[in-house]
Structure 1
Amino acid sequence: MTSSDLRDTLRQMLAVLEEERQALAGLDLDAIVGATNNKNHLCGTLDSVDPATLDEECLGLVDAARRLNEVNRQVRNIVAANVSRRLDALTGGPQLYRASAGYTRAATLA
């Protein structure tokens, strides 16, 4: 894969991660599943890349993608904690999954 192709793939990954963020914000299940499929495809493309060949621009794109992916992961966890809290409130039952205090607090603010 050329540097140009790699940069294009990383830019596509950033676009997909942004689409996923918007899908999570709107709780759009079809868009979330589509973003997941697109991420998996792009990860398959990136599997063949030798990390030693990354230039500064590519490293910056990788870092941006890593940060955006982490934000999306935290949003997914907040949504899951909020759902668990609401289900427990309905049933009065104990939680099977306990989110950390930070996620629980963020979920109550949402």
Structure 2
Amino acid sequence: MLAILESERAALAGLDLERIITCADGKQRICSELESVAGQPLDEECEGLLNAVRRMNEVNRKMRNMIADNVQSRLGSLTGNSFLYAAPAVA
């Protein structure tokens, strides 16, 4: 999982969509495999690895959000509408 997250970070930095999707598929596959052993006690090494994975996934999530915000801002500049993805106002 750590290798996939590192690859995802590089793909995000390079805006490599195909690689980002491949990494997302890999993360889904590994999470499915981990669900089969959920609830079993973890040793200290496994807990450490899971904490590292959580931290790295959080960093990657923040990177994805920053990229999405940047795209939204650029699209807003092009269209003159800075709230391109905002939900419509309800009266």
TM-score by length of 2: 0.89
Q: How does 1:41-60 map to 2 (within 5 A)?
A: 41-60=29-48
Identity score, percent: 55
Structure 1 residues 1-110: aligned runs within 5 Å: 13-97=1-85
Instruction: Note the alpha carbon deviations across 1:17-44, whole angstroms, 9 max, x for none.
Output: 1100000000000100000010000000
The structure with the largest helix share of the pair is: 1
What letter corresponds to residue 23 of structure 1 in structure 2?
A
TM-score w.r.t. length of structure 1: 0.74
Mapped partners of 1:62, 1:49: distance in 2: 13
Q: Which amino acid aligns with 1:34?
A: T
Deviation >3 Å, runs of 4+: none
Consecutive unaligned residues in structure 1, runs of 5 or more: 1-12, 99-110
Q: CA RMSD in A?
A: 1.2
Match of 1:105 in 2: none
